[in-house]
């Protein structure tokens, strides 16, 4: 799953990026509102962590412009102010949740997991597809109770398919959501990761829809 991190304070941004990547996310970042607005309109993100106090263009203005342009990705606002009016303004601008600085990384991760689950129509922290389960809290997958050994990229592909199980996911969509913007993206590697996953999963769980992409077919 890919996130956009927008924070102008270098030390905090580096700490957040490290924590998010350790949790298994792919992270693109911006340190000002103008670049954030551009990235949010040009790239696909599963969620955004957005600071309000940004240079060039403030966070609320960025958020409003995203929503006006039809961008619907979940947005978690970070604010150094604890005033209720700031929170109301953020929610009215289109935010899905907020955190007041300082905060614990564990809480930010929990809120992001909840936002991404709700965006995909999932209520619980554990996603299920037939014998396959994926715990979004621990980033671990199991088949019939047996733990799967996955590389980071295999996990990212599987997690995205699990969040969109039953839907057709194109190769280009997978590329957008498992690689950062500055990574050398190669569509052939997606086929490699899917091939590896198929060897670790029950037969026919990952379907190829000719000319369109892949679908995780859940069965009892």
Interval 172-188 mean pLDDT: 76
Place of tokens 């309000």: 52
For 126-216, CATH number?
A: 1.10.10.10
* C-alpha 60: how far from chain center: 21
Residues 128-137: contacts with CB within 8 Å, 24+ apart?
A: 128/218, 129/162, 129/165, 129/205, 129/216, 129/218, 130/202, 130/205, 130/218, 130/219, 130/220, 131/202, 132/162, 132/201, 132/202, 132/205, 134/158, 134/159, 134/162, 137/110, 137/113
User: Which tens digit of pLDDT belongs to each residue from 105-151?
Assistant: 999 999 999 999 888 777 778 899 999 999 988 889 999 999 999 99
**Token pair in block for residue 173:** 């969509």
Homologous superfamily assigned to 2-119: Response regulator (3.40.50.2300)
**pLDDT over threshold 90, residue 162:** yes
Q: Which of 17-31, 40-54, 147-161, 174-188 has the lowest mean pLDDT?
A: 174-188
- Over pLDDT 90: what percentage of the chain? 65
Domain ranges in the chain are 2-119, 126-216
Model pTM? Answer: 0.80
**pLDDT over threshold 90, residue 27:** yes
Specify the pLDDT at position 177: 86
**pLDDT over threshold 60, residue 38:** yes
Strand partners, 78: 51, 99
Specify the pLDDT at position 184: 60
User: Which tens digit of pLDDT belongs to each residue from 56-83?
Assistant: 999 999 999 999 999 999 999 998 766 6
């Amino acid at each position: 799953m890919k996130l956009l991190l927008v924070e102008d304070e270098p030390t905090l941004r580096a700490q957040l990026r490290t924590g998010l990547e350790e949790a298994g996310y792919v992270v693109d970042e911006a340190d000002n509102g103008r670049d954030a607005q551009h990235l949010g309109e040009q790239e696909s993100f599963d969620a955004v962590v957005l600071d309000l106090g940004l240079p060039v263009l403030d966070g609320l203005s960025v958020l409003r412009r995203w929503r006006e342009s039809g961008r619907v990705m979940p947005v978690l606002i970070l604010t150094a102010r604890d005033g209720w009016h700031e929170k109301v303004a953020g929610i009215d601008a289109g935010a899905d949740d907020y955190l007041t600085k300082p905060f614990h990384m564990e809480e930010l991760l929990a809120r992001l997991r909840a936002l991404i689950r709700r965006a995909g129509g999932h209520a619980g922290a554990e996603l299920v597809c037939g014998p396959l389960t994926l715990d979004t809290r621990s980033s671990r997958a199991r088949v019939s109770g047996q733990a799967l050994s996955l590389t980071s990229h295999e996990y990212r592909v599987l997690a995205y398919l699990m969040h969109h199980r039953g839907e057709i996911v194109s190769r280009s969509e997978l590329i957008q959501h498992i690689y950062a913007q500055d990574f050398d993206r190669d569509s052939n590697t997606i086929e490699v990761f899917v091939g590896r996953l198929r060897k670790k999963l029950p037969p026919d769980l990952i379907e190829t829809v000719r000319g369109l992409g892949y679908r995780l077919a859940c069965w009892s």
